[in-house]
Structure 1
């Protein structure tokens, strides 16, 4: 009787985690580890920036501390019209990036569809690509004066070539079997472009735009350094003349923020447009 009752009333059943729970937990921990490590590095850099130069006896007019930079940024906001300079640089970088992107992509597609013209113009494109675009800034100032045009044109030139090269390369390396298949279905040249060539070029185009987003800030800064009367590049020149290193560092930080913002916007658009591509693990 005792053994039959024991068999009829077994002990508590152990709780078993659903399959995959451990994998989800590890993935969640891994997803938090990378941002935490990035944040830790940022904190360490800021702490070192604040305390290391004074500890090494470096004068503050050589390397300002973080508190010096924060105080100077507050002063610039109140007295130097920092917002106007920031918006001027950001808007000029955005306009130059968009204009350079449109021109670069348009020329890349046009040359990709016209192999003959691509061969004729390639030496001149190569020469312009090799030429240091920033060296044109003084020339543009002599041509157009001290206004927005020189820095805008420099920005467009700097952004133009990476996008042109990327798009042209994608047009030349598109799978010919896909093009021949489209021709077999009696597609027109326009249909082949929009249904085969253009979609195939999107990864290269967006990669070029990511490069252009970082270069746009460099282009507009060069224009402002050479002959600007407004913008963060102008503040760098002004701070140099006043021996105000905190102002120079603040302007550099804000320029970096603008570049990162442009890059992230392109990266977000890329993730949305190219969602069908497999993600690289790691």
Structure 2
């Protein structure tokens, strides 16, 4: 009787052949992404001239990069970039921790959820832009209003994902661990929290991009430092290229934050199938 052959039992050469389709698939995806980027940059470089758009409406790629060099040398672009990045990291971290704590607490206590959910929902519905001027009046033109706005925006997606995940934990798994005389902490640590971890990272992915929006809103409303300040300054001077440079810088921060969450997710959830841990 023939037994099924697994990849681990194959010789080294056969294992390499078995892995080639995966590597070629990754190479194909990477090549496609690079080609799309080249196409986008080409359209950005020559598209405005082909459409007859003046430079003050839509500067091309070369003009934008020239302005980036000017801002780097004269407008202290790196310092403003670092300030905004710091605010994003702090706001994202604190908002995520707050959302995780509240989500766990409400998930384990249906009574507390019933009492607090209307107020949490009202806080989420209220436009965060309306809070930004208030925080500026209270705390002045410091980094704190921007961080608080980021916390408010980050909080809800993390909280609701964790809450939903803990509420949908398999009760049979909980009962099984109870039969082994597990304590309440062990039940939470081994079953409830581990079951909620994939949903937690899904919320963190969303929150990582929202944190950039929150900080930018705070800097637009009341900031004298950061990329939001450069955005307002470029708009006030009618410098469209500077506005594009600032938008690109904010995009880089968002990509870095999202990439950090994806990296952490792969490290923490390495035991799950890739389809369950990777959506992008």
Alpha-carbon shift at residue 167 of structure 1 (Å): 0.5
Indicate how the Cα distance of structure 1 residues 46 and 115 shifts in structure 2: closer, same or farther if over 3 A, else same.
same
Aligned-CA RMSD value: 1.6
List per-residue Cα deviations over 1:206-239 (Å, max 9, x = no partner).
1111111000100000000011000001101000
The correspondence of residues 1-282 of structure 1 with structure 2, limited to 5 A, is 24-280=19-275
Indicate how the Cα distance of structure 1 residues 149 and 27 shifts in structure 2: closer, same or farther if over 3 A, else same.
closer
Instruction: Give structure 1 regions of 4+ aligned residues with deviation exceeding 6 angstroms.
Output: none
Structure 1 gap ranges (5+): 1-17
Mapped partners of 1:19, 1:125: distance in 2:
56
List per-residue Cα deviations over 1:158-177 (Å, max 9, x = no partner).
00110000010111000111
SS of 1:276's partner is coil
Indicate how the Cα distance of structure 1 residues 21 and 92 shifts in structure 2: closer, same or farther if over 3 A, else same.
closer
* TM-score of the aligned structures, taking structure 2 as reference length: 0.91
Structure 2 gap ranges (5+): 1-12
Tell me the equivalent position of 2:10: none
* TM-score of the aligned structures, taking structure 1 as reference length: 0.90
Mapped partners of 1:101, 1:201: distance in 2:
14
Alpha-carbon shift at residue 118 of structure 1 (Å): 1.0
Alpha-carbon shift at residue 20 of structure 1 (Å): 7.0
Alpha-carbon shift at residue 252 of structure 1 (Å): 0.3
Mapped partners of 1:144, 1:259: distance in 2:
26
Mapped partners of 1:172, 1:198: distance in 2:
11
Indicate how the Cα distance of structure 1 residues 202 and 54 shifts in structure 2: closer, same or farther if over 3 A, else same.
same
List per-residue Cα deviations over 1:106-125 (Å, max 9, x = no partner).
11111112221111111111
SS of 1:280's partner is helix
Alpha-carbon shift at residue 28 of structure 1 (Å): 2.9
